[in-house]
């Protein structure tokens, strides 16, 4: 039985300054939340690390969670979205190119609740 879907997103070649900018990252996550009609429990939590100053953000959702981790020293952002109710696929590739200047974006979808993660019967 499938109980959700998880998106694992890795983007490289991002603009380092944008990966240090909490407003840019919050706006990106807010766009995900609004576009996918996700419901946040409380408020998102963010932490900025000392220079080179990456950020980690986490949102607890009624559907599960959204997290974001940036590595400005490498030009990389990793994002994880887990939903236990059906959601359309977000356009991660174009959105991360526009918001963060990402040169390459990889998106993996994992069907949760099945042994192989593909959504097939156990």
Residue 6 β-bridge partners:
82, 110
Write down the catalytic residue from 69, 74, 83, 104: 69
pLDDT digits (tens, 9 = 90+) for 76-114: 999 999 999 888 999 999 999 999 999 999 999 998 887
Q: What is the DSSP string of the chain?
A: ---EEEEEEEEES--HHHHH-HHHHHHHHHHHHHHTT--BSS--EEEE-STT--EEEEEEETTEEEEEEEETTTTEEEEEEEESS--PPP-HHHHHHHHH--SEEEEEEEEETSTTSSS---
Nearest-CA neighbor of 9 among 53, 69, 65, 71? Answer: 69
Q: What is the pLDDT of residue 122?
A: 47
The domain limits of the chain are 4-67+90-112
pLDDT category, 120, cuts 50, 70, 90? Answer: low
* 69 in catalytic set: yes
* 64 in catalytic set: yes
For the chain, give the percent of residues with pLDDT over 70: 96
As a whole number of angstroms, the distance between CA 65 and CA 52 comes to 26
Write down the catalytic residue from 16, 29, 64, 83: 64
CATH code linked to domain 4-67+90-112: 3.60.90.10
Total count of residues recorded for the chain: 122
Mean of all residue pLDDT scores within the chain: 93
Model confidence at 11: pLDDT above 90: yes
* 47 in catalytic set: no
Residues sharing a CB contact under 8 Å with residue 55, sequence separation 6 or more, in sequence order? 19, 20, 22, 25, 46, 47, 48, 49, 68, 69, 70
Global confidence as pTM: 0.91
Q: Which of the two residues, 109 and 119, has the higher pLDDT score? A: 109
pLDDT category, 119, cuts 50, 70, 90? Answer: low
Q: What is the pLDDT of residue 115?
A: 77
Comparing 1-5, 49-53, 109-113, the range with the smallest average pLDDT is 1-5
């Amino acid at each position: 039985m499938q109980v959700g879907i998880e998106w694992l997103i890795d983007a490289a070649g991002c603009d380092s300054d944008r990966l240090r900018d909490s407003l840019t990252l919050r706006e990106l996550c807010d766009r995900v939340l609004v576009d996918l009609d996700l419901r946040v429990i409380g408020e998102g939590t963010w932490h900025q690390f000392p220079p080179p100053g990456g950020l980690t953000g986490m949102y607890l959702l009624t559907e599960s969670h959204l997290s974001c981790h940036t590595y400005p020293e490498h030009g990389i952002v990793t994002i994880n979205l887990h939903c236990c109710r059906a959601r359309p696929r977000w356009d991660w590739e174009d959105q991360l190119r526009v918001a963060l200047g990402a040169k390459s974006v990889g998106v993996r979808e994992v069907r949760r609740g099945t042994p192989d993660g593909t959504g097939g019967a156990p």
